[in-house]
């Protein structure tokens, strides 16, 4: 696979490493791999969403034949929003902007003119499932460990990204 340049961005993780890695194969299919640095589980933090937004800009400019969204983690696709980040929110306007940013990014993914596929292994929960639903197609591994859902509704929380 040949590599597309990664859009530069100041990510909000301590290592300043990108969350998303973009490669385009010889058939002009783009492979966007989520690999949150320093953790065994992918979650959608503000930094991950800003990095995804940058990658979507690159994808929009290159316009591949198709886009496959996948996880580099063995534990699953995406666990959902970064709950630890919620504890740092100090006022309603900050929380609102965090959710609106995620909504705008998922809207951009959904609006891509090329076919988009979420390749789901393991779990896709909360915001992770919302991201998968923003893709035109979803392919799920035939594995008993697969779990799809919105567990936040059991706590009275409405899914907020999609």
Instruction: Give the confidence band of 137 by pLDDT, cuts at 50, 70, 90.
Output: very high
Distance of CA 84 to the CA centre of its chain: 17
Instruction: Give the confidence band of 162 by pLDDT, cuts at 50, 70, 90.
Output: low
Q: Domain boundaries in the chain?
A: 2-150
Encode pLDDT of 35-83 as tens digits.
999 999 999 999 999 999 999 999 999 999 999 999 999 989 999 988 8
Verify whether residue 10 is a known catalytic residue: no
Neighbours of 9 (CB within 10 A): 18
**CATH classification for the domain delimited by 2-150, as one of 3.30.420.40, 3.90.226.10, 2.60.40.1840, 2.40.50.100:** 3.90.226.10
Verify whether residue 152 is a known catalytic residue: yes
Question: In the chain, what percentage of residues exceed pLDDT 70?
Answer: 90
Q: Over the range 85-98, which residues count as b (16 or more CB within 10 Å of their CB) and which as e?
A: beeeeeeeeeeeeb
Instruction: Give the confidence band of 104 by pLDDT, cuts at 50, 70, 90.
Output: very high
Choosing from 5, 85, 97, 130, which is the catalytic residue?
130
**Residue 161 confidence (pLDDT):** 72
Query: Both tokens of residue 73?
Result: 């983690």
Question: In the chain, what percentage of residues exceed pLDDT 90?
Answer: 70
CA distance 128 to 42: 9
Instruction: Give the confidence band of 1 by pLDDT, cuts at 50, 70, 90.
Output: very low
Instruction: Give the confidence band of 122 by pLDDT, cuts at 50, 70, 90.
Output: very high
Over residues 152-157, mean pLDDT: 82
Q: Is 53 helix (H, G, I), strand (E, B) or coil?
A: helix
CA distance 135 to 138: 7
Choosing from 5, 26, 97, 152, which is the catalytic residue?
152
**Residue 111 confidence (pLDDT):** 98
């Amino acid at each position: 696979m040949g590599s597309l340049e990664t859009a530069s961005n100041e990510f909000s993780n301590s290592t300043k490493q990108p969350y998303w890695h973009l490669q385009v194969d010889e058939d002009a299919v783009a492979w966007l791999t989520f690999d949150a640095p320093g953790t065994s589980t992918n979650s959608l933090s503000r930094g991950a969403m800003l990095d995804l937004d940058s990658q979507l800009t690159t994808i929009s400019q290159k316009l591949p034949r198709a886009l496959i969204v996948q996880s580099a983690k063995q534990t699953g696709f995406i666990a959902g929003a970064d709950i630890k980040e919620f504890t740092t929110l100090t006022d309603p306007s900050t929380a609102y902007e965090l959710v609106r940013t995620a909504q705008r990014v998922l809207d951009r993914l959904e609006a891509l003119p090329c076919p988009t596929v979420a390749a789901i292994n393991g779990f896709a929960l909360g915001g992770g499932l919302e991201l998968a639903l923003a893709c035109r197609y979803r392919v799920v591994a035939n594995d008993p460990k697969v779990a799809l859902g919105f567990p936040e509704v059991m706590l009275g929380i409405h899914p907020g990204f999609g």
